[in-house]
């Protein structure tokens, strides 16, 4: 079972291409700061605008730098089943520990279509696979019943739940069992997700606050709910501001302010509005993060 904070990694870019040097340094920093694992090529990594060659390269670099120290869950999802199979096959050959497959977006498949899509990928690639259920981006929402059907298959290992429905972890646990990995995809509701039976978080916030996020989870895991709630409250302004515009726009700007990458985004994403920049800067300053970056 996977548990703890897994960072949904940004993809640094410079002059229109992936900044491999910055990405390597960023992955190394994440590990040093204590995250439980790494997730390259997800939404936060601007995967919709990465070429297939870039996608493969980012996964390969992440696996190389991690070098077995923490697990790598490679984003391999697509609304084309054949493409998802191809990317998942590459993730396995690159040495990833698991794959994260987003719900087929835009196509709007039925529950049966969802089942057949994920079944086809797991049939084709013997690698643990995490279903990424995010109706806000994919439009469709996998039912607990469909997930329970999929969980009977050998390579379906868990879910990244970005529904923000805090009844889901318990419903899923009751339907599938405690060994089915449940990772939150919503930083702001993570503590409630854990209380309902979740095992960890695939996080946007841990891009810029990996140690604080890891300490929060450690407090929860140790049974110190008061400390966990205190740390959660401290992180909430950061959780909030990192979604003041479409993610990953704010978190990439925050990482830039911390000196971890350049500010470059790839269209159709663009730089945050000036008002958003000021909000992000104010929150980082209030948390003392800008002083730490300058030290």
Catalytic residue among 106, 108, 152, 160: 160
The phi, psi pair for 153, rounded to 5°, reads -85, 145
Q: Find all residues with CB under 8 Å of 11, minimum gap 6, and list them.
A: 18, 23, 40, 41, 45, 46, 50, 58
Q: Evaluate whether 6 touches 183 at the Cβ level (below 8 Å).
A: yes
Q: Evaluate whether 192 touches 161 at the Cβ level (below 8 Å).
A: no
Q: Please confirm, yes or no, whether 132 is among the known catalytic residues.
A: yes
Beta-bridged to residue 99, according to DSSP, are: 74, 129
First to last CA, the chain: 38
On the CB side of 218, how many CA atoms lie within 13 Å of its CA? 9
Catalytic residue among 132, 194, 253, 256: 132
Token pair of 244, please? 């003041």
The number of residues making up the chain comes to 295
Q: Evaluate whether 251 touches 269 at the Cβ level (below 8 Å).
A: no
133/161 Cα distance (integer angstroms): 5
Beta-bridged to residue 201, according to DSSP, are: 5, 184
67/140 Cα distance (integer angstroms): 36
145/137 Cα distance (integer angstroms): 21
Q: Please confirm, yes or no, whether 5 is among the known catalytic residues.
A: no
DSSP 253: H
Closest CA relative to residue 216, chosen from 204, 207, 229: 229
Q: Which residues are the active-site residues?
A: 132, 160
């Amino acid at each position: 079972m996977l548990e703890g904070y897994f960072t949904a990694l940004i993809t640094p870019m410079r002059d229109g291409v992936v900044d491999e040097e910055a990405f390597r340094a960023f992955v190394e920093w994440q590990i040093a700061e204590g995250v439980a694992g790494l997730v390259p090529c997800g939404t936060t990594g601007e995967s919709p605008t990465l070429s297939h060659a870039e996608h493969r390269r980012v996964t390969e670099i992440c696996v190389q730098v991690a070098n077995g120290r923490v697990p790598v869950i490679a984003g391999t999802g697509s609304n084309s089943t054949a493409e998802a199979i191809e990317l998942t096959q590459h993730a396995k050959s690159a040495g990833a520990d698991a794959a994260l497959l987003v719900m087929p977006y835009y196509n709007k498949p039925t529950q049966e279509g969802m089942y057949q899509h994920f079944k086809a990928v797991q049939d084709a690639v013997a690698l643990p696979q995490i279903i990424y259920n995010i109706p806000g981006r994919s439009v469709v929402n996998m039912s607990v019943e469909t997930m329970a059907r999929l969980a009977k298959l050998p390579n379906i290992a868990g879910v990244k739940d970005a529904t923000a429905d805090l009844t889901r972890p318990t419903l899923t646990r009751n339907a599938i069992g405690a060994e089915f990995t449940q990772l939150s995809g919503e930083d702001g509701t993570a503590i409630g997700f854990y209380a309902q039976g979740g095992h960890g978080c695939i996080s946007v916030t841990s891009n810029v606050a990996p140690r604080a996020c890891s300490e929060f989870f450690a407090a929860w895991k140790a049974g110190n709910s008061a400390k966990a709630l205190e740390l959660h409250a401290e992180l909430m302004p950061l959780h909030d501001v990192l979604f003041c515009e479409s993610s990953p726009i704010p978190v990439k700007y925050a990482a830039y302010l911390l000196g971890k990458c350049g500010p470059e985004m790839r269209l159709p994403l663009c730089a945050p509005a000036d008002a958003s920049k000021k909000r992000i800067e104010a929150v980082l300053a209030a948390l003392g993060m800008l002083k730490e970056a300058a030290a």
